[in-house]
Structure 1
């Protein structure tokens, strides 16, 4: 019988410190197969495998698309690519961003649950917002186990707290106690898991498809809404995922509640700045038109332009007042720090 020897780990802000502490305390001689997603800048040159390998626990590397899974290695998601598993192979895909990021934790967790079922232990470490919550639920629905860093022990508690609040944590503990737990879980035989839920398999497939249209898959897992995708403008479907309401568009962009809120807050702020710039340009335009009319003795026309200038100036001042408020982008990332 196989053991729980597949460890899938997700982290964001504060994640490098957490991974360093976790891997540095792992029992010597224990060599599970590990997959890691850490939110990183898309255009950065990643040295994360070198940093993790320097710790001295297991070899770490950025896999290439389609290569066989390497047992007893740490598979690290490269920048701007989702890290997925499919049967006995690794997929490295530039599929649609999920939760406004690529790589994202949820796609890795879903694919691991589909591929390995009850052998998977999903681990959520330090980070903001709520990436990993839905993926951890998928792992547990496939028979795996959810382990979450104690938010009080995390540099950024948002991701761990979200997993806990939504009931997806089988174990909550500080990093100092996590290696012993993971070692104990890995020594246990993996029980026979339930059939892979159809919606989990469908969403795992969406992440694999990169530039292929996925509207049929999206319709299969969600209900259409009148909301639009903050990234591409397409229609969003809502997905009832246990206690969480998530969203996915027809090309595959996916949003947790916190990431959807953050995306809309950012779009709103952008729209306000565009409106402010437009009103300031209108003030200048009406000033020029009024001056031109006065030079030609057209006082009534000039007065009309002056009135419109004053109205545009009032609107610009109102927009400045709104943009100056500290809560204009009061996102969940700010509330959950």
Structure 2
């Protein structure tokens, strides 16, 4: 049987309209399967497949565990689950987040690259940050084709721009022309098969194995003096790639940009906890001052008033640091 193409589409901010635009002219007789990840909030109820089925001619299905991948259909990742492929079937996993996301574009692209190699066409559309770049790199190294939306036509250009910087992109296409361009690729002869790098194969396994990966991380990279922004564990800097990125021993993965963003979010959360705790401490101290004043213990009350002034100084410094008005 002739092997059909596997079209992998990743998008984030501004990506839903982009996905609809790319798929609008495809029908169920197309000689390809479409696997799509659009970043969503983990607690979101997915209705995107319902919407797309009202707009598109090709059937759209939510990813389900052990669902067979058939040509002429679109498979859509669901919130809070990575979509991976194995032996021609979809697998939904609750594996560690990559670049702060689950589902992650990188996870799907890498998984498909390992299992479908030269049959893969990776397409990266509108989005912030840089999820998808590592996945496109994996597709390229496994013999597939890499495509990005022209950043000038993207509502948010971050993802295609980053991919353009770090990966040898085969095609850069305007959004309105993307569907027709993909149809041309689908009809072309498949490129030659290539060898799957062992590092990519091992990373693809991480999203499906939720357990300590220290031996695997030692193989994939070098331990560095940084902590995982998700679980606090040690990080390894991944080698064998042009893109600076990190993994912890349970599998959380970050680009440098995503790690910095996560650290900033953790720092802000910590500062708010400190601010709230100091305000609560000040209120407790005021109650204690009032209690000792009522009992006539003025010297003890004054000592607690001194502590209140110290706490107020700390609060004021935090207000300045966090730009909180008085």
- TM-score under structure 2 length normalisation: 0.92
- 1:214 alignment partner in structure 2: 213
* Residue aligned with 1:71, SS: coil
- 1:169 alignment partner in structure 2: 169
CA distance in 2 between partners of 1:136 and 1:305 (Å): 61
CA distance in 2 between partners of 1:226 and 1:304 (Å): 43
- 1:122 alignment partner in structure 2: 122
Is the 1:33–1:73 contact (alpha carbons within 8 Å) kept by the matching residues of 2? yes
Deviations 1:266-315 (A, max 9, x none): 10001101111122223223333344444455554443322222121011
- 1:262 alignment partner in structure 2: 261
1:318 aligns with 2:290: no
- 1:330 alignment partner in structure 2: none
- 1:99 alignment partner in structure 2: 99
- 2:132 alignment partner in structure 1: 132
Is the 1:2–1:189 contact (alpha carbons within 8 Å) kept by the matching residues of 2? no
Is the 2:33–2:74 contact (alpha carbons within 8 Å) kept by the matching residues of 1? yes
- 1:272 alignment partner in structure 2: 271
Deviations 1:121-169 (A, max 9, x none): 1000111111101111111111111111112211122211211122342
Deviations 1:10-43 (A, max 9, x none): 0111111001111114489534111001112223
Deviations 1:63-98 (A, max 9, x none): 322232112211111221111111322111111111
How big is the alpha-carbon RMSD for the aligned residues of Structure 1 and Structure 2?
2.3
Q: CA deviation at 1:105?
A: 0.3
- Residues 9 and 307 of structure 1: CA distance in aligned 2, closer, same or farther (over 3 Å): same
* Map 1:22-61 → 2, pairs under 5 A: 22-26=22-26, 29-61=29-61
- 1:251 alignment partner in structure 2: 250
* Residue aligned with 1:238, SS: strand
- 2:62 alignment partner in structure 1: 62
- 2:235 alignment partner in structure 1: 236
Deviations 1:225-263 (A, max 9, x none): 232222222222111353321111111111122221111
* Residue aligned with 1:40, SS: coil
CA distance in 2 between partners of 1:284 and 1:125 (Å): 51
1:309 aligns with 2:308: yes
- Residues 139 and 6 of structure 1: CA distance in aligned 2, closer, same or farther (over 3 Å): same
The 10-residue stretch of structure 1 (178-187 or 10-19) with the greater mean CA deviation from structure 2 = 178-187
Is the 1:4–1:189 contact (alpha carbons within 8 Å) kept by the matching residues of 2? no
CA distance in 1 between partners of 2:241 and 2:252 (Å): 20
Please list every run of 5 or more consecutive structure 2 residues that lacks an aligned counterpart in the other structure.
Answer: none
- TM-score under structure 1 length normalisation: 0.89
CA distance in 2 between partners of 1:147 and 1:89 (Å): 24
Please list every run of 5 or more consecutive structure 1 residues that lacks an aligned counterpart in the other structure.
Answer: 326-337
